[in-house]
Amino acid sequence: SDLQKQEERGELLQPLVFVLLVLCSVLLYFKVSLMDPGFVRSEEEAGKSEEQSMMIPQVPSNIKMRRCGYCMVKQPMRAKHCQLCQHCVRRYDHHCPWIENCVGEKNHPLFIAYLSVQLVVLLGGGHVAWSGLYFEQSWDWLRHNILLLMSFLLIVVFTVVVLLLLVSHLYLISCNTTTWEFMSHHRISYLRHSELENPFDQGVILNLWRFFC
C-alpha cells in the first residue's frame, strides 16, 4: 500500500499525522462522552458552592421557565429532560448512543469537532485500504484480500454515516436550531405558538459565530 511504501522510503510524516489524528479522535470521544453536556441543576444544588454556581449560566428574566415533571428543576427554554441521563439538559440536541451521553449546550461544539476529525480519519483510512487493493477475478485473490476488502467496505459505510451526520448538524447550527426542535417542532410550545417559524434564527453568519465562538 501507499503507507508501506512511504514507510520504506522513510517518509513518516503522513503516517505520523494519521496516528495523531486517530489519537485526537479518541481523546475527543472520551471528552465529549464524559463531560457535562449542560445539565440543569436544582437551586439547592447550585447553591452548595460558589464555584459551581459561577459555572451555571444565569437565565435572563425574560425567558419563561417551568418545572420539569421528572427531576422538578426549573427548566429554561430549549432545555429538555433526557430519560436515559435522568437530567434536564440545556439546549438539548439529542442523546447520542455512540458516546452514551447527551449532546447539549456545553459539549455540542466539541461533538462537531469530534465528527470532523473522525471524518478525516475515516477518509485517510479508506485511502490507505484502497491503495492496498489490486483487484483480480480469482478466488485465490479474494481469499487473500477478503479482510482488507471488508475493512474498506466498512470504512465506506461509516464515512457516509459520519458525513451525513456532520452535514445535518452544520445545517441545523446554521439555522440556530437543534435536532430535537427540528424533529419535534409541532410538540414544543414555544415553537408551536411562535409567530416565527424559528424565533432563534439570527442569520447564518451570526448563528455560526455564536455557536463556535
| Per-residue pLDDT of the chain in tens (213 residues, 90 and over written 9) | 566 666 666 667 777 888 899 999 999 999 999 999 999 987 644 444 333 333 334 434 444 567 888 888 888 889 999 999 989 999 999 999 989 999 999 999 999 999 999 999 999 988 888 776 666 566 666 677 778 788 889 999 999 999 999 999 999 999 999 999 999 888 888 788 777 888 899 999 999 999 998
The reported pLDDT for the residue numbered 60 is 41
Containing 87, the helix (H) or strand (E) segment is strand 87-89
Dihedral, 143, 147, 148, 151 alpha carbons, nearest 10: 150
Q: Domain span at residue 13?
A: 2-37+101-212
Cell numbers at residue 121, please? Answer: 480519519
Are 121 and 18 contacting, i.e. CB atoms less than 8 angstroms apart?
Answer: yes
Inside any domain, residue 148? yes
How many structural domains compose the chain?
A: 1
Inside any domain, residue 76? no
Inside any domain, residue 199? yes
Point out the residues that are catalytic.
Answer: 96
Inside any domain, residue 117? yes
C-alpha span between 23 and 114 (Å, rounded): 11
The reported pLDDT for the residue numbered 89 is 94
Inside any domain, residue 83? no
Dihedral, 16, 17, 23, 25 alpha carbons, nearest 10: -160
Q: What's the pTM?
A: 0.80
Inside any domain, residue 59? no
The reported pLDDT for the residue numbered 4 is 65
Inside any domain, residue 112? yes
Inside any domain, residue 135? yes
